[in-house]
Amino acid sequence: MKNCLYTLIAALLMLSSCDSYNKILTTNNIDYKYEAAKAYYLKGDYSKAAQLLESMVTLLKGGDKAEESLILLAKCYYDSKDYDTASQYFKVYYTNYPRGEFAEYARFHSGKSLFMDITEPELDQSGTYLAISELQLFMEYFPLSKLRPEAQDMIVKMHDLLVEKDFLSAKLYYDLGDFMAYKGNNYLACIITAQNALKDYPYTGLREELSMLILRARYQMAHKSVEEKKYERYRETIDEYYAFKTEFPDSKYLDEAEKFFKEAKGFVND
């Protein structure tokens, strides 16, 4: 413990000396440069710390500072909010040192870094899928980790984000209606998208909204169909209504659902 404290004090004093950053960067004294990198990190100057570590992390490989230097480099990018680069370095660490001292930390933060960098639901969510995959792997490798609840919480939040994206996509198809019809029918695309979201995320908080969107789309498909397809599609609307009412008997959309049901029932019974 005393040795660590002395090293820390020496590193901090180093930065207050007359040595310039460029001199530290170009020195061949790896130990000196490494302690300077740690000192810059402790000062919160992550850019300088990362640049120093980048210049020597390969040289340190195989030595007693190899693991620490790589995890510190990843932390520099994480703390400077360059989450994409941080995730890459955390992944490099656990790939090279799968049983290393910081393996649990690296696997967790590889996923958390990607989580911190996820985009709005309207945008591409490829990073969200990667973050979920990384965190699921973390839980597989470290099932008893104290970080597991936080990983689970992040995964739940990302599932909510993905289902919101599906909901927005389904709603867009519905709002487009007959305009620029997807394979001839945007309402069908709405139904398929919403159904897939319910299948993939059965416990979503948007379940009622997605189910109602399906019912609306069923009704519109029937209402706007050519005559020979109306009967079958109104029957599907009736079936969808019964499923919706059974699952959401007190839904705020029940009055709207009843209107669809009455029109569908009236057509089928004529």
pLDDT in 10s for each residue of the chain, 270 residues = 444 444 455 555 555 554 588 888 888 889 889 999 999 999 999 999 999 999 999 999 889 999 999 999 999 999 999 999 999 999 999 999 999 999 999 999 999 999 999 988 888 899 999 999 999 999 999 999 999 999 999 999 999 999 999 999 999 999 998 776 555 589 999 999 999 999 999 999 999 999 999 999 999 999 998 899 999 999 999 999 999 999 999 999 999 999 999 999 999 886
pLDDT at position 270 is 67
pLDDT of residue 254: 96
pLDDT at 120: 87
Tokens of 186: 């945007």
**What pLDDT, on a 0 to 100 scale, did the predictor assign at position 14?**
55
Q: b or e along 91-130 (b: 16 or more beta carbons within 10 Å of the residue's beta carbon)?
A: bbbbeebeebebbbbbbbbbbbbbbbbbeebeeebebbeb
Residue 99 main-chain phi, psi, to 5 deg: -115, 25
What is d(CA 240, CA 244) in angstroms, rounded to the nearest whole number?
A: 6
| pLDDT number for residue 1 | 43
Decide if 173 contacts 154 (C-beta within 8 A): no
To the question of pTM greater than 0.85 for the whole model, the response is: no
Alpha helices in 61-116 (DSSP H): 66-79, 83-96, 103-116
* Of 100, 110, 117, 103, the residue nearest 75 (C-alpha): 110
Q: Residue 182 region, left (φ>0) first, then alpha (ψ -120 to 50), else beta? A: beta
3-state secondary structure of 121: coil
